[in-house]
Chain A
């Protein structure tokens, strides 16, 4: 590989100009003349049979063009993985955000007013708001075909965990709880459905995979895929919350039936109730270690709140098969996982896809083991962390290029820890300036897979066209990879410019339109730089070859197929689960106010491996943004759901971090271990930033006040209660 020109440079994002001038069109900004407006009627109750739906009064209301119910949907099923949800419910509603009908009218106000006139007679059923209660024999069923309310189970056996625990010098057994998390992307769900110039039903919206949306629309409308078109414009954040359907099918149905443009924009309350959440997880861990800190065995039980429908619950749970033991090599592992249906808002994809919850418990287990053995936790991490040649819990060898050991050391040094003679590490002692405050430092390490893995046949499509005569005047890069804000389109343009050896401003991106390009796969699993990046690289190389054959324009492209992974064995979980991982270690210094229970983050060190970063500025942006989401999850974001009703459905009650909650002292440290699969050696970094911070904060709080917390968020009430319990 020669010297790189564009890749590795902090080039300016291609979309930034339009965004800072207000010219960028997000889904809610799109309007056409004579469009109609839609209101989706939510169930508004968590569990009930529908006895009747009377739309007559609503139909007669001013301005109403149509009302669509279950009767109007040709194949009334939806679901990204499992078609277990009705597009419009007519038999049963299973959570407050289930959709019952769509009211379409001349104005937004008319649609909303008419929706209130729809008379639905419900027969309420017992509400399951707790997965532990939902698992009990005799509990009411959310789905009649899911006995025990079991949505999905997973099982892994490596070695003999029970035997190894019996022989361990130390056994630590604890239970952890991590809560639901709301994505709170700033742009609520919105979209415009219309009939395009070729007669296709088109939906212009914000999502995470145009082709997954298209597939579900075509299926529900029972029309061929080529009669459907999905287009994304500027997308106001996603973080996993846009993987499942929100408004897409309803918009397509209305436009298809009415042959008119129909628009919807959800309110913040509808957004919070209407899309899936990070799964709440109960994790029971029993780990065994030798006196010297060597981890011998881990026995883990994971219970996740799947909520009302599967969404991605099964897949998130499957990810615990490797991540439940954190970033460690442990020879004896047993994992049993249960995703349990309740009448809560469905659990779904959220940045990290189970890894933040898994890492929370695993990293705190390491801390407890260190404390009980009288060792420092950095030593235990270094002794047991994955390295090249390590065998994962899934009994496959970790892909080459593991940098975690270097990251742990770099992070520890940067936060002020020092290696002692005798090989241990000592954390610095930090003291508060006020008598009612205490300071402490904590650290945590993590890994996160890139790409889905687990046997899913993965790839990405791209096409590159080169225009010009003797020289390449400009190149067109076609991809369906969604730029949800992470900067994917700019990274792909950089990769094309590098391969083609042309300036970046001669690369034109044509993006996210199913009428233009095949499936590039979703913006999820930190995968676009690696998967869509390799597809663009391959397409650019093919186009260059055609160029050399004097083709004008010279076109290359097709599907890039990722190296294969395999499905987990149902009994042992054995498989090749992933082709690549991102690694990171984060340390944090906190100050705890003993009187108010408030926790202030003073310093953060984030040591990460981006491989060869395509755009270092954007990598830092991903890490900083991920860390602040993790800070919110750990401290202030308290998703309250009572009896299936969401009590925190506004940004005034669900508190995401502001500039005043975030420390200016965040230092990023990099180790660059090229990924063998990534284009130019790049790694996926979209998720790893969100993974280790929460357990690092809990450890730092323990360092400050001597109290271990096993659940988050550490809001002032919980901290004060914990301090009080410790005194008694």
Chain B
């Protein structure tokens, strides 16, 4: 396929407002990509044009799993455009025009390229018309450009790009410039390409989607769909060594989670950096499919290879894992006692390329895994979360009898349907120095790259409230001598009265209960059964999920899922928050 054809179609797509029409355009483009032109030596192991087109149309040169970049800055691109643009145009002129026009594609299209002739036009037996760029040529030149490194590589990149621009018509230049600077933006999203592949090669969308999830490469999926059909697509599997996109979470609340699912899978949320661990004791294939000696590779959330920066994770994998596996988790910075350190500390380690050993002395990290995508030859993406977690535990545990608590590197999972139980897991997570909790649908599959409703990070408290403790209840059983379930009130400044907004019982350890009882007992005003009225004296800082109207409390509002945070020793009841603030926070 000629690059001019691609540019024409891209222009048509860009001009098209309707999604379905865009899919139709992309479908045509994929259908027309054609077979790879044959080479002189017969066997053609070169990339198929349909693969290139499926990537180019999304503004990609490389597969999504490949973190290779062209590594070319805007100024180098301006220079290449300037050189191709002709006499006495320099990079500054291009930049000025960009400031006027606003978009690099339009700038590139505004120049008249092709002033510089190529030597091939003069070579014996070759016509001048031989100069048309093909999609394949653009791809191959860009791969060369990406590979240029070391001294003088910037010049070499500009040379290559100049050579391409010099052969471009104005429309070709527009899309080449955008492709190079990762600003394609013609309205083709991942879903568009998925639907277009399905339409072009007559395969169901959801099977294309599955193939995309395991391969993480639109190009390969397009080629397989075309050449091998549905059977080929269905045979595509995760490749240990090639990263897939991480499943993502959205913000959510305990209330919503419990409304939608019978029970929630609750996990601690670690304040670390996301990693995907690939391990194969027999040596991983490199992402490009070549055999290598490495057994372990670690990828960041953006599928960058961070193996070298995290030797602890490699050591962990080699020491713990037996068969091939792909695990999803976090790497957390820890102090000498193994307690977590803030996120910033992880960053000191995460992308480090030099002096790793030295950095390791300063900050050590450890991995914690919460999901298992592949184990011992089985792809697990479609298994329910609980089943995947069981496999994870099996992969990490020393033996079948080991208590999950003792499994090194395992993030625990609790199934809960009771808000209080969830609160206590949250409290424990916070106490252990972590960020809070994740709520997940126990039956959900692993959907790479999706930020769906199945995973939720508990919304952090927007703001806390400082409430006066105006009542409490004596506990039962073991806690009979402790006050608990504290009644919370805020001040109505207009009347000077205290009005109740809720009761807090969670987020408090036994030790803390003893302390609170000691503080509050002197202020008991009246008792009836377990119920205790307290004189206003102590102020609690409490967290909550939201504020809602309620007939139950005298303020007319109730805190949902209130959580004890701390005693505000620095505050008198007169300094506590007001009803007006509650109203303001609610709105």
Partners in one complex: no
Q: Contact residues of B with A, CB < 8 Å?
A: none
Q: Contact residues of A with B, CB < 8 Å?
A: none
